[in-house]
Chains A and B, each alone.
Chain A
Amino acid sequence: MNSALTPLQLAQAGLLAPNGLDVQDLSRTLDAVMAHAVDAADLYLQNSRHESWSLEGGIVRSSSFSRDQGFGLRALDQDQSAFAFSQQISHARLLEAAASVRAIARQGGEGRAAIAAHPSLGHPARYDTQDPLASRDAQAKIALLERIDRQARALDSRVSEVNASLNCAHETILVMRQDGRLVADVRPMLRLSVFVIVTRGNQRESASSGIGGRFTFDAVTEETLDATLRQVVDEALIKLDAQPSPSGEMAVVIGPGWPGMLLHEAVGHGFEGDFTRQGSSIYSGRIGQQVAAAGVTIVDNGTLPGHCGSLTVDDEGEASQETVLIENGILRGFMQDGMNARLSGVAPTGNGRRQSYAHLPMPRMTNTYMRAGISDPQEIIASVKSGLYLANLGSGQVDIVSGRFTFQSALAYRIENGRLGAPVKGATLTGHGPEVMQRISMVGNDLALDPGFATCGKAGQNVPVCVGQPTLKVDRLLVGGTA
């Protein structure tokens, strides 16, 4: 692929020309929608190619390739939307969709002038447009998975099964708005995931991890791969000796990186502009208030190069940015898409995202993390007399209305007299997000982002995200276990 072409040129070549369309046809579609009494409209075209290879039982036994394309057309009347999508990008389907979304229009049309497209260019690119599918041939992809299998088994004789999979995606989007703004983006994604099972006698444990981002194979170094495999195998082996988790309220030290999913769940969703505008978030209307302990600063930053949540532009064509959500404990701002920003009287923040052309955009997180503090992580552990160290996190959930969250430990240890003690399993941590944010008493200097396997689900739509944090100490958190 010729990377000298701009995303807009690539989008025109990939989405319009093969379907016999040009930018005029997009304008005409929006004209047809705007001839009715609606406030705003946008047309989103997308194509994607996806390839996956998976290894289990020592062989790469299956692979799949898929292609998808389509458009979604939305008409907005204040907070009300009508939406139609099609998997065929054609004149006829665009006009059908335009007729269908008029359902939302108030009585009477306003007969506006025709919409002229004006391309919006020059957004700083947060990733290359290179296609990860094409960046290696099939043999190289298979060899990579085989190497993972061999190497994981070689690390310990108790490794009894390895699953490794490789997912590559390449998508192009083109979005045009009723004011003529036309924006394109070309997005790569590569994700490598590893799952191991270890067996000792009739006891089995497992662990998983991965590497991912908006990049091609060149970004996956041997060192990263080795470290990932070592960590996954170690985690599974440690679990073989894990004891039942203690129960009750206790001090919890949360390790850096992936456990930042806690913030994503307990804080992040409550900062999304749809929930805050509707008043369903506990953080609604609290800008300027102290909502976390001093020393806690949390940002959403779509501009990090090549991370899973990074975006050059969001799915409404807004440039991504860094948005400070909480600064030294004070609530500073929310994440917005175009509609919620407009209705809330604030600027959009580049958080308008959608799973695909078949879904409506919503305010969504990108890369959301807590900034580093000043404490040495060892000091943080040493400060706890009796508690839990959460080294790795399982999955989590939050009820943004009550603020309650739940998540499972993947790997945890007891802390006794300031030292890590026995590993424990089966711990469930539950808490009230806003309360926990006030109980953070130490923030480490070791900020890390997750290695690239996070996906966030909201209202049935999944989008890739990134989470992160430094080591943290929460003075009291409820741990549910069986001991």
Chain B
Amino acid sequence: MNNLFPHDQAGLDAITAALLDAARRHGATDAVASVSENKGQTAHLRQGRIRALSREVSCGLSLAVYIGQRQGHTHSTDFTPDSLEEMARAACAIAQHTQEDPFAGLPDTDALCKTPLDLDLYHPWEPDSETLVTLARQIEEGIADWPEAASDGAWASAGQSQVRLANSRGFSAGYAQSYHGFTASVLAARDDIRCREFWHEGGRRQGELPAAKQIGAQAAGRAISLLDQRPIASGEFPVLFDARSAISLLQHLCQAISGRPLYMKTSFLGERFGQPIFPEHIDVIEDPFIPGALASQPFDTEGISASRRVLVESGVLRGALLGQYSARRLGLPVTGNAGGNTNVQIASRLTRPDDDLAAMLRKLGTGLMVTNLSGEGARLINGDYSRAARGFWVERGEIRHAVDGVTIAGNLLEMWQSIAAIGADTFVSGAFSTGSILLSRMHVASR
């Protein structure tokens, strides 16, 4: 395959090796170097005009050194030999000043990835700018079909990147990946009501993207459906998170079981391992090795391979997301999650193949369907949850009208435990995958 980047993997290996060598000469007892190269381009249109044609070629180089239990980090974008020398010198100088941390250090050699899997992550696409502009125009054509909608931006982008990670204990591996995507942002207006909605889809292969026009149509259709707004009464109601907004419930879980909040004791789930946090019909699975998936990786940012495992099994919290440092500090096995979670999916054993959105609305009965959330009102320290929401008021399983500017409040633990059903309308966004999620009740405040 043609190499699109300034260096090939062997070239990157030479850079990381030189950097590790410089670190050793400046007194590091251990070191880890990583390098990345990115290449991409985007066409951004708004109502037929080119807002920006951008071309990106960028790179980065990071070094962490250990002098015993002390550590120092440096970053640069300059790969010249002088710069590598300067990075090593500066990192070792910093490490002289930081304090001894008993948990600092490289992963055990046994834990490092032996044979990186080929996960089918790299399908480069380098269209010329006219092609991207044409695709962005098609996104806007999808919007133009809807009379009350106007484009507030259409983006078509293509991008590829490669990384190499090497440490002073002999680990050196790298891989390349690609991501291409279409985004539409739509303004819809009727009388005094104005609202904006967006839609994005992306993937590793250009060929697997939906038709560009469809992205615009999806955003426009959603925006227009939100125009028929009416107020609702405040109260306690069942709430259905549509699949896209339900992703946030999984994100809160992953944040709360990450290493740092656990060892800092800032997660409300710190004492909940081994205990039920979801109903018995719920499982949450992490899988780093799904071929072509958006958060798949052969190894994490420390060189450790995670594996497919259950984070939540029959409602019981089983797994944390740990890198080497947090694992040592917590006295737990490392899970290969330095750099965060890989692909995470939530599923209910009660879900039937025909549980589409219409079926979920019937299960909701009378209550609120949430399609958009705003505000960062999920507090991981105690699980308190209060966010602004937009969506639809539903009566006896049928959408009556749109709702905006309401807040939904509760506590994450109570919310998760009240999950009555998960739909078969699975939506994947980045690392996360879920169907729509029905909660049996939440506080809804309205004007």
Contacts A79-B51, A358-B58, A481-B445; is A428 near B264 (CB within 8 Å)?
A: no
Contact present for A60 and B98 (CB under 8 Å):
yes
Return the CB mask of A46-65 against B: 1 if under 8 Å, else 0.
Answer: 00000000001001111111
Contact present for B52 and A428 (CB under 8 Å):
no
Contact present for A408 and B77 (CB under 8 Å):
no
Return the CB mask of B29-48 against A: 1 if under 8 Å, else 0.
Answer: 00000000000000000100
For this complex, 22 residue pairs linking A to B, each with C-beta atoms less than 8 Å apart, are: A56-B264, A59-B99, A59-B100, A63-B94, A65-B73, A82-B54, A138-B93, A138-B94, A161-B264, A204-B381, A247-B409, A247-B443, A249-B447, A358-B56, A397-B374, A401-B196, A406-B375, A406-B407, A426-B386, A428-B407, A481-B443, A482-B411
Please give the distance in Å from A150's CB to the nearest CB on chain B: 14
Which of A83-91, A176-184, A330-338 forms part of the interface with chain B?
Answer: A83-91
Contact present for A79 and B49 (CB under 8 Å):
yes
State the CA gap A311–B157 with chains docked (Å).
33
Return the CB mask of A373-402 against B: 1 if under 8 Å, else 0.
Answer: 000000000000000000000111101011
Q: Is A104 an interface residue (CB 8 A)?
A: yes
Contact present for B409 and A480 (CB under 8 Å):
yes
State the CA gap A481–B446 with chains docked (Å).
11
Q: Is B53 an interface residue (CB 8 A)?
A: yes
Q: Is B362 an interface residue (CB 8 A)?
A: no
Return the CB mask of B87-130 against A: 1 if under 8 Å, else 0.
Answer: 00011011001111100100000000000000000000000010
Contacts of A104 in B (CB 8 A): 50, 53
Return the CB mask of B50-84 against A: 1 if under 8 Å, else 0.
Answer: 11111111110000000000011111111000000
Q: Is A118 an interface residue (CB 8 A)?
A: no
Which of A83, A280, A406 contacts B374 (CB under 8 A)?
A406
Contacts A79-B51, A247-B443, A358-B58; is A428 near B387 (CB within 8 Å)?
A: yes
Which of A86, A138, A480 contacts B386 (CB under 8 A)?
A480
Contacts of A40 in B (CB 8 A): none
Residue in chain B with minimal CB distance to A202:
B271
State the CA gap A282–B196 with chains docked (Å).
12
Which of A67-75, A124-132, A317-325 forms part of the interface with chain B?
Answer: A67-75
Contact present for B129 and A103 (CB under 8 Å):
yes
Contact present for A65 and B91 (CB under 8 Å):
yes
Q: Is B190 an interface residue (CB 8 A)?
A: no
Contacts of A285 in B (CB 8 A): none
Please give the distance in Å from A349's CB to the nearest CB on chain B: 21
Contact present for B409 and A401 (CB under 8 Å):
no
Contact present for B98 and A479 (CB under 8 Å):
no
State the CA gap A407–B445 with chains docked (Å).
14
Residues in B lying within 8 Å of A, measured CB to CB: 46, 49-59, 71-78, 90-91, 93-94, 97-101, 104, 129, 152, 187, 193-196, 234, 264-266, 271, 374-377, 379, 381-382, 384-388, 404-411, 443, 445-447
Contact present for B75 and A160 (CB under 8 Å):
no
Residue in chain A with minimal CB distance to B73:
A64
Q: Is A151 an interface residue (CB 8 A)?
A: no
Q: Is A206 an interface residue (CB 8 A)?
A: yes
Given contact pairs A406-B374, A482-B410, a sample of 4 additional A-B residue pairs in the complex whose CB atoms are under 8 Å apart: A161-B265, A402-B404, A404-B388, A404-B404
Contacts of B446 in A (CB 8 A): 478
Q: Is A163 an interface residue (CB 8 A)?
A: yes
Contact present for B265 and A80 (CB under 8 Å):
no
Contact present for A83 and B94 (CB under 8 Å):
no
State the CA gap A84–B40 with chains docked (Å).
11
State the CA gap A426–B379 with chains docked (Å).
8
Residue in chain B with minimal CB distance to A78:
B49
Contacts of A475 in B (CB 8 A): none
Q: Is A142 an interface residue (CB 8 A)?
A: yes
Most buried by B among A82, A203, A397, A426: A426
Contact present for A428 and B409 (CB under 8 Å):
yes
Q: Is A107 an interface residue (CB 8 A)?
A: no
Contact present for B409 and A482 (CB under 8 Å):
yes
Which of A197, A199, A430 contacts B407 (CB under 8 A)?
A430
Q: Is A264 an interface residue (CB 8 A)?
A: no
Which of A65, A206, A280 contacts B94 (CB under 8 A)?
A65
**Interface positions of A from 88 to 143, Cβ below 8 Å from B:** 100-101, 103-104, 138-139, 142
Please give the distance in Å from A60's CB to the nearest CB on chain B: 5
Contacts of B410 in A (CB 8 A): 482
Please give the distance in Å from B372's CB to the nearest CB on chain A: 9
Return the CB mask of A159-188 against B: 1 if under 8 Å, else 0.
Answer: 011010000000000000000000000000
Q: Is A288 an interface residue (CB 8 A)?
A: no
State the CA gap A96–B145 with chains docked (Å).
39
Contact present for A197 and B98 (CB under 8 Å):
no
Contact present for A430 and B388 (CB under 8 Å):
yes
Q: How many A residues face the partner with a CB closer than 8 A?
A: 72
Q: Is A66 an interface residue (CB 8 A)?
A: yes
State the CA gap A56–B104 with chains docked (Å).
13
Contacts A66-B75, A87-B77; is A401 near B55 (CB within 8 Å)?
A: no
Contact present for A66 and B376 (CB under 8 Å):
no
Contacts of B75 in A (CB 8 A): 64-68
Contact present for A66 and B76 (CB under 8 Å):
yes
Q: Is A427 an interface residue (CB 8 A)?
A: yes
Please give the distance in Å from A173's CB to the nearest CB on chain B: 16
Which of A66, A206, A394, A404 contacts B405 (CB under 8 A)?
A404
Please give the distance in Å from A118's CB to the nearest CB on chain B: 28
Contact present for B405 and A160 (CB under 8 Å):
no
Please give the distance in Å from B260's CB to the nearest CB on chain A: 9
State the CA gap A282–B129 with chains docked (Å).
33
State the CA gap A126–B91 with chains docked (Å).
33
Which of A56, A86, A205, A247 contacts B234 (CB under 8 A)?
A247
Contact present for A406 and B264 (CB under 8 Å):
no
Q: Is A81 an interface residue (CB 8 A)?
A: yes
State the CA gap A100–B129 with chains docked (Å).
10
State the CA gap A138–B90 with chains docked (Å).
12
Contact present for B53 and A480 (CB under 8 Å):
no
- 3 nearest CB pairs, A to B: A480-B407, A406-B388, A66-B75
Residue in chain B with minimal CB distance to A142:
B97
Contacts of A163 in B (CB 8 A): 264
Which of B382, B408, B411 contacts A480 (CB under 8 A)?
B408
Residue in chain B with minimal CB distance to A93:
B57
Q: Is A278 an interface residue (CB 8 A)?
A: yes
State the CA gap A203–B93 with chains docked (Å).
41
Contacts of A79 in B (CB 8 A): 49, 51
Contacts of A428 in B (CB 8 A): 375, 377, 386-388, 407, 409
Which of A62, A206, A479 contacts B381 (CB under 8 A)?
A206
Which of B71, B97, B377, B382 contacts A408 (CB under 8 A)?
B377
Contacts of A432 in B (CB 8 A): 405
Residue in chain B with minimal CB distance to A203:
B382
Contacts of A60 in B (CB 8 A): 97-99
Contacts of B271 in A (CB 8 A): 202
Q: Is A372 an interface residue (CB 8 A)?
A: no
State the CA gap A310–B241 with chains docked (Å).
42
Which of B76, B90, B91, B445 contacts A247 (CB under 8 A)?
B445
Q: Is A360 an interface residue (CB 8 A)?
A: yes
Contacts of A247 in B (CB 8 A): 234, 407, 409, 443, 445
Contacts of A206 in B (CB 8 A): 266, 381
State the CA gap A466–B251 with chains docked (Å).
30
State the CA gap A304–B88 with chains docked (Å).
39
State the CA gap A101–B55 with chains docked (Å).
9
Contact present for A87 and B59 (CB under 8 Å):
yes
State the CA gap A205–B265 with chains docked (Å).
10
